[in-house]
């Protein structure tokens, strides 16, 4: 059995995701670029450390997203312990509620967020407004977080109070201790001080983590992240595409590989006689995914049943006094006995002119000798 710490690290790494190329390029470049539009016009927020680093703001230059950036650097990750339960080793900075408790209580089945269970991110301050009618972001909007060189997902769950009106870079205890940096000793009094954390919050109704999207009443933050990962992946692809951090690229559609010809459910349930190998005139006469192939119901992509060549329709052994029997070489009808005619340089039945025996898979018409006719009349394997 794995020790508890090793198990926690294994589970956390399993829930992590590699950073897609488009987001990776944005992460490498955007911190060194300017920003033309900050939330509330504020770009002088600080990280709350001693000595403090200033020049932060919530940039709105990326369509479909809001990201936190400083001057040539990303943010840190302080620990938020507010909500239903205080963090380990935290005695001073705790409030029993979070910013959107009314919404939680009216539709999410819980009274408050729990910093130990819910991987939420703290966004906005009393100067950079994320609440109210004109808020740039919806409560519980999905947030992509690059931390510890991995991509993780949380949601917008709280705002910073007026006591720390300039401070940015904060997430719940479960986000830092269980998801981003498991087993590294972070608790209610010790946050991450490096400046390499990217927070990207997604805008729009489709970005909101809804009651049915995640286990809000559960206690496992890793299970919560796994539940919202597909939504996060779609939003990252929508906003950042797969290339550089320039114009938004559409999500890449990966086609489903086609089934091998002849493979399908050969016993579908239906209320009419259109089962496998039954006669048909169109696809409508076949059950389920079966299709009409050459008059028989079968799997899509299957070749039509191969028909044995039609036996000759004339007297193939007429009596004559010259060598113009069936299958013999000829240059004209005069070189063939009785009712035989010269077809393609060989004597054969006159009615078979141009298409006596069609070979399998549409190969050119071939007029066959008697030995070939006998072989072709046998069932094909």
User: In Å, how far are 111, 129, 212 from 38, measured between CA atoms?
Assistant: 32, 11, 32
Q: Is residue 13 scored above 60 in pLDDT?
A: no
Please give the pLDDT value at position 278. 80
Angle at 188 between CA 182 and CA 192, to 5 degrees: 55
Q: Tell me the per-residue pLDDT of 92-130, one tens digit each, with 9 for 90 and over.
A: 778 889 999 999 999 999 999 999 999 999 999 989 999
Per the model's pLDDT, the better-predicted residue between 89 and 118 turns out to be 118
pLDDT of residue 306: 47
Strand 120-122 and strand 170-172: the pairing is antiparallel
Judged by average pLDDT, the poorest of 111-120, 233-242, 300-309, 333-342 is 300-309
Query: Which pLDDT value is given to residue 302?
Result: 55
pLDDT at 270: 65
Q: Do residues 110 and 211 lie in contact, with contact meaning Cβ atoms separated by under 8 Å?
A: no
Q: CB under 8 Å to 379, separation ≥6 — which residues?
A: 308
> Per-residue confidence at 346, pLDDT binned at 50, 70, 90?
confident
Beta strands in 299-366 (DSSP E): 340-343, 346-349
Q: Which residue has better confidence, 238 or 368?
A: 238
Does the bond joining 265 to the residue before it have cis omega, within 30 degrees of 0? no
Q: What mean pLDDT, rounded, does the chain reach?
A: 78
Output 244 or 173, whichever has higher pLDDT.
173
Q: What tens digit of pLDDT does each residue of 258-306 get? A: 334 455 766 666 656 777 788 787 777 787 778 888 788 888 765 544 4
Of 122, 137, 223, 123, the C-alpha closest to 173 is 122
pLDDT digits (tens, 9 = 90+) for 30-65: 999 999 999 999 999 999 888 889 999 999 999 999
- Share above pLDDT 90 across residues of the chain, in percent, rounded to a whole number: 50
Q: Decide if pLDDT at 368 tops 80.
A: no
Domain boundaries, the chain: 4-240, 255-305, 308-381
Share of the chain above pLDDT 70, in %: 72
Alpha helix stretches (DSSP H) within the chain: 4-15, 21-29, 101-107, 173-174, 221-240, 370-377
Lowest mean pLDDT among 28-32, 77-81, 91-95: 91-95
- Please compute the mean of the pLDDT values over residues 369-374 and round it to a whole number: 30
Average pLDDT over residues 365-371: 32
Question: 214-223, 274-283, 336-345, 362-371: which range is least confident on average?
Answer: 362-371
């Amino acid at each position: 059995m794995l020790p508890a710490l090793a198990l926690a690290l294994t589970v956390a790494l399993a829930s992590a995701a590699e950073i897609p190329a488009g987001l990776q390029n944005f992460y490498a470049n955007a911190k060194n670029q300017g920003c033309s539009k900050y939330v509330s016009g504020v770009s002088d927020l600080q990280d709350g450390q001693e000595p403090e680093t200033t020049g932060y703001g919530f940039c709105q230059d990326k369509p479909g997203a809001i990201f936190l950036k400083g001057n040539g650097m990303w943010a840190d990750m302080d620990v938020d312990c507010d909500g239903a339960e205080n963090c380990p080793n935290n005695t001073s900075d705790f409030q029993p509620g979070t910013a959107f408790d009314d919404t939680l209580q009216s539709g999410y089945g819980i009274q408050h967020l729990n910093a130990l269970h819910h991987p939420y991110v703290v966004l906005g301050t009393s100067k950079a407004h994320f609440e109210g009618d004109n808020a740039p972001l919806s409560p519980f909007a999905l947030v992509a977080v690059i931390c510890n060189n991995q991509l993780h997902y949380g949601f917008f769950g709280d705002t910073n109070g007026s006591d720390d009106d300039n401070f940015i870079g904060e997430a719940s205890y479960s986000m830092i201790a269980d998801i981003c940096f498991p087993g590294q000793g972070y608790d209610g009094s010790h946050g991450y001080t490096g400046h390499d954390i990217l927070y990207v919050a997604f805008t729009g109704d489709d970005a909101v983590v809804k009651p049915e999207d995640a286990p809000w009443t559960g206690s496992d933050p890793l299970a919560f992240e796994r539940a919202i990962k597909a939504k996060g992946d779609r939003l990252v692809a929508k906003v950042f595409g797969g290339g550089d951090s320039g114009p938004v690229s559409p999500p890449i559609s990966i086609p489903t590989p086609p089934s091998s010809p002849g493979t399908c459910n050969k016993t579908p349930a239906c209320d009419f006689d259109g089962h496998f190998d039954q006669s048909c005139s169109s696809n409508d006469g076949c059950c389920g995914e079966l299709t009409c192939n050459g008059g028989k119901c079968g799997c899509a992509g299957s070749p039509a049943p191969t028909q044995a060549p039609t036996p000759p329709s004339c007297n193939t052994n007429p009596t004559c006094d010259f060598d113009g029997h069936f299958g013999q070489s000829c240059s004209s009808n005069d070189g063939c006995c009785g009712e035989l005619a010269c077809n393609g340089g060989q004597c054969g039945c006159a009615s078979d002119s141009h298409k006596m025996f069609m070979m399998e898979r549409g190969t050119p018409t071939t007029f066959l000798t008697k030995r070939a006719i006998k072989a072709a009349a046998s069932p094909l394997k």
